[in-house]
Amino acid sequence: MDLAFTKEEQAFREEVRSFFRDNVPPDTRRKLVEGRHLSKDEMVTWWRILNKKGWGVSHWPKEYGGTGWTAVQHYIFNEELQSYPAPQPLAFGVSMVGPVIYTFGNEEQKKKYLPRIANVDDWWCQGFSEPGSGSDLASLRTKAERKGDKWIINGQKTWTTLAQHADMIFCLCRTDANAKKQMGISFIVFSMHSKGVTVRPIQTIDGGHEVNEVFFDNVEVPIENLIGEENKGWDYAKFLLGNERTGIARVGVSKERLRRIRDLAGKVESGGKPIIQDASFREKLAACEIELKALELTQLRVVADEGKHGKGKPNPASSVLKIKGSEIQQTTTELLMEVIGPFAAPYDVHGDDGSNEAMDWTAQIAPSYFNNRKVSIYGGSNEIQRNIIAKAVLGL
């Protein structure tokens, strides 16, 4: 057992850090620090810089453009990326559909889609959840019927993140209505610009527009857009959801936010002195930092385990990452609210593009707190995670 990073790993961290320092557009970084949303252009610009460096799809196999890094190197890269902070790669393309395509897709599909995912020539979105299928995802009803050399798709998806930017969607569709619910689902990809696709924004409690409803009305999709085998889509969905086990803790994001809290708490006054000098606030902050340290170590245990024994057998500790990671993210946004106190109230009607200088640093703190309530809901709610631990780990 040796919990220290090796010299090589430390040098790698320096390399990554200095690349970010030299290449992340300063305005992009500032907006992230302030909790603002980025424009599509800002994100794509950065992802192409990353892809040009060869780090756009770092965890993919080398033959498809990956780096061949060790599990620990991936960990370091992600942590540095999150805590710099710089925009993380577009998960829907890079972490979700990409691995499904290179694992289950045919040669033609790999050639067609993978390079475009890596360079974000296509913006991908995820068509999983439906109004009646949240935690019980396998009850989904969006239908794909085979008609000649086409799929005809009808139905509705929801909570589709950033679908307003999307060029492509990967979609779970029911292809066999008579099969047991998990058995009749297929994994189909198609253009969001197809006739019959309608995107309707959902405004969330933070006032932002991240998620959407997506409607399919007799959308025609070429037959070759099925990934893998017909009616095996549920297996690919499970593969996809289990693939990104360690990123979900978002340790780097929380670290960056804790640094910001400490910084603001040294400036904002309470009782005539900076709030950081208040013992009870300081202890709350320390408590959160300790929880985060424990989570970071838990994550490293999972990472080291994957590096050594492969991804095949999930480390039981990985179930902890989603629950604790989301709780800590929420606590950090709560602490930020506490620091700014009454200045949480003003609502920036101009939105969060940073154009309103008068609102500057406080503008996004309350919205970010509201927005972060989502992290214990998405990706399998924390209650679902507890079901998984009970069943898969404790055998209950």
Partner 1 sequence: MDFDLTEEQRLLKDSIDGLLTDCYDFDSRKKYMQEKGGWSKAVWGKLAEQGLLGLPFSEADGGFGGGGVETMIVMEALGKALVLEPYLATVVIGGGFLRHAGTDAQKAAHVPGIVDGSKTLAFAQLEKNSRYDLFDVATTAKKKGDAYVIDGEKFVVLNGENADTLIVTARTKGNRRDTTGIGVFLVPADAKGVARKSYPTQDGLHAADITFTGVEVGSDAAIGNPEDSLALIERVVDEARIALCAEAVGLMDESLKTTVEYIKTRKQFGVAIGSFQSLQHRASDMFVAAEQARSMSMFATMAGDFEDARERSNAIAAAKVQIGKSLKFVGQQSIQLHGGIGMTMEAKIGHYFKRLTMIENTFGDTDYHQRRVADAGGLI
393 interacts with partner 1 by CB under 8 A: yes
Q: Is 116 exposed, middle or buried (0-12, 13-18, 19+ CB in 10 A)?
A: middle
- Rg from Cα positions in the chain: 22
Q: Which among 123-131, 213-221, 234-242, 380-388 is the span making contact with partner 1, rule CB under 8 A?
A: 380-388
Site for partner 1 contains 294 (CB under 8 A): yes
Look at the chain and count its residues: 396
Catalytic site includes residue 338? no
Question: What DSSP string runs through 231-293?
Answer: T-HHHHHHHHHHH--SGGG-HHHHHHHHHHHHHHHTTSEETTEEGGG-HHHHHHHHHHHHHHH
CB closer to partner 1 out of 147 and 259: 259
Segment contacting partner 1 (CB under 8 A): 3-11, 218-226, 267-275, 361-369? Answer: 3-11
Site string for partner 1, 354-373 (x = CB under 8 A): --------------------
Question: Which window, 93-101, 226-234, 285-293, 349-357, contacts partner 1 (CB under 8 A)?
Answer: 285-293
Residues 241-280: x/- map of binding to partner 1 (CB under 8 A)? --------------x--xx--x----------------x-
Among 24, 168, 323, 365, binds partner 1 (CB under 8 A): 323
Amino acid at 288: C
Question: What distances in angstroms separate CA 68 from CA 64, 306, 315, one per listed residue?
Answer: 11, 14, 22
Contact status, residue 354 vs residue 31, Cβ threshold 8 Å: yes
Residue 140, token pair as written in the block? 């989904």
Q: Which of 268, 289, 351, 377 forms a contact with partner 1 (CB under 8 A)?
A: 289
Residue 311 binds partner 1 (CB under 8 A): no
H or E segment to which residue 173 belongs: strand 168-174
Which among 159, 150, 232 is positioned nearest to 194, based on CA atoms? 150
The one catalytic residue in 42, 145, 213, 244 is 244
380 sits in the region (left: phi over 0; alpha: psi -120 to 50; else beta) called left
- Write down the least CB distance from residue 358 to partner 1, Å: 31
Least Å distance between CB 82 and partner 1?
13
Residue 209 vs 284, nearer CB to partner 1: 284
13 binds partner 1 (CB under 8 A): no
Phi, psi angles (nearest 5°) of residue 60: -70, 160
Residues that bind partner 1 (CB under 8 A): 1-6, 9, 72, 255, 258-259, 262, 279, 282-283, 285-287, 289-295, 297-298, 300-301, 303-305, 308, 316-317, 319-320, 323-324, 383, 385-387, 389-391, 393-396
Active site residues per annotation: 244
